[in-house]
Amino acid sequence: MKVAVVGATGLVGRMMLKVLEERCFPVTELLLVASEKSIGKEVLFKGKSYKIISDKEALQKKPDVALFSAGSAASLELAPQFAAAGTTVIDNSSAWRMDNTKKLIVPEVNAQVLTPQDKIIANPNCSTIQMVVALNPLHQKYKIKRVVVSTYQSVTGTGVKAVTQLMNERQKATGDMAYKYPIDMNVIPQIDVFLDNAYTKEEMKMVHETKKIMGDDSIGITATTVRIPVMGGHSEAVNVEFERDFTIEDIKNTLQQAPGVILKDDIARQIYPMPLHSEGKDDVFVGRIRRDESQAKTLNMWIVADNLRKGAATNAIQIAEYLFKK
């Protein structure tokens, strides 16, 4: 299979290559695309060196699948060109997510809606992906009425510049700032730009994307997204109100059987999900499960996942795996 990775030198692009290798995706020809300044640079994949090429050269080679992680502007320009050439594009940017003509896919939740005619497929926001993987099996059983989510998101979600800022601050070094404020020894209650309703773009992504992926506009969702000085994964405190009542035992049993979910919930031994343990893994970890004692039929839970893997690269590759197995 001829595979292109567009944005191959970024954090997510590099992770896509790592996950392709780990999951033994059937790559017969690899095309690596990045910005003009990176053309000619070499990247290792399965012990072999590959040169970065231009998007035009990759397009001429008509790959079977193109994994995009080059930002919205590049996706809006290039994805239709690749799709027109017969390539299936799986795009990690926000460019196509809320386009009514494009599918927004988390394989554990809604892969069944995909068809061979879907040539541009949107990969959701990282914080949305991990939440819906945990929520969907519960929605099927108890029907969700409302979700209140607060996120605690890794600097890796911003990119290399943010990781460098955090490391510089820890070493008392100066350098470029990814954020307006210091991130080490701090939390920043803003991810992406503010919108007219005083929510950030990231917060509204979680609202709109969750409804689209789960196929239910009736779910009420409100979000607060926060950047914290960690690497390894995003964490979320999620409060969920259901239409039907539940027992905690049933909730745990449902999550234990859910695809892509690992239950880590043993408070007697202080076992719960943390970014420290999610880094490098493809699963969504759930713990701190307890009934909300202030309101009927309502649950509190804690959800953690590696945002570069399940929140981006792995989810995209799982989409490709689903399509080509089908």
| Distance, CA of 242 to CA of 250 (rounded, Å) | 14
Q: How far apart are CA 311 and CA 305, in angstroms?
A: 7
Full DSSP string of 169-185: HHTT-----SSSS--TT
24, 139, 208, 234: the active-site residue? 234
Q: Are 302 and 263 in contact (CB under 8 A)?
A: no
CATH of the domain at 199: 3.30.360.10
Does 138 lie in the same domain as 220? yes
Q: Residue 234 and residue 127: Cα distance in Å, rounded? A: 7
- Round to whole Å and give the CA distance between 219 and 209: 11
Distance CA 132, CA 257 (A): 15
Residue 55: CATH number of its domain: 3.40.50.720
Catalytic, 139? Answer no
Q: Which of 73, 6, 20 is nearest to 313 (CA)?
A: 20
Q: What is the spatial distance between Cα 246 and Cα 165, in angstroms, rounded to a whole number?
A: 45
- Is residue 46 domain-shared with residue 142, that is, in the same domain? no
From CA 294, how far away is CA 277, in angstroms rounded?
31
Give the residue carrying structure tokens 């990775």: 5
Could you tell me if 289 and 142 lie in one domain? yes
Q: Are residues 168 and 200 in the same domain?
A: yes
Residues sharing a CB contact under 8 Å with residue 129, sequence separation 6 or more, in sequence order: 106, 123, 305, 310, 311, 315
Question: Token pair for residue 146?
Answer: 């409302």
The H or E element containing residue 302 is strand 298-305
Q: Determine the Cα–Cα distance for residues 244 and 270; give it in Å rounded to an integer.
A: 30
**Quick count: other Cβ atoms within 10 Å of Cβ 307?**
30
pLDDT (tens digit, 0 to 9) for every residue of the chain, 326 residues total? 999 999 999 999 999 999 999 999 999 999 999 999 999 999 999 999 999 999 999 999 999 999 999 999 999 999 999 999 999 999 999 999 999 999 999 999 999 999 999 999 999 999 999 999 999 999 999 999 999 999 999 999 999 999 999 999 999 999 999 999 999 999 999 999 999 999 999 999 999 999 999 999 999 999 999 999 999 999 999 999 999 999 999 999 999 999 999 999 999 999 999 999 999 999 999 999 999 999 999 999 999 999 999 999 999 999 999 998 87
Residues 165 and 64 grouped into a single domain? no
Taking the C-alpha atoms of residue 267 and residue 137, their distance in angstroms, rounded to an integer, is 23
102 with 74, same domain?
yes
Question: How confident is the model at residue 29, as a pLDDT?
Answer: 97
CA distances from 2 to 15, 26, 171, 203 (A): 18, 9, 43, 36
Task: State how far the Cα of 60 lies from the Cα of 38, in Å rounded to an integer.
Answer: 19
Q: In this structure, are 49 and 94 located in the same domain?
A: yes
Helix-helix angle 248-257:126-142, to 10 degrees? 120
Contact 291, 297 (CB under 8 A): no
In contact, 91 and 79? CB cutoff 8 Å: yes
194 and 319 together in one domain: no
Residues 67 and 148 in one domain: no
**Residue whose tokens read 């926060």:** 226
| Backbone φ and ψ of 181, nearest 5° | -120, 165
Count of structural domains, the chain = 2
Does 193 lie in the same domain as 181? yes
> Which CA distances in Å does 110 have to 104, 256, 323?
8, 19, 12
Q: The domain containing residue 39 runs over which residues?
A: 2-124+312-325
CB 127 within 8 A of CB 206: yes
275 in the same domain as 160: yes
150 and 267 share one domain: yes
Which is the catalytic residue, given 24, 126, 139, 208?
126
126 is catalytic: yes
Assess contact for 304 and 278: CB atoms under 8 A.
Answer: yes
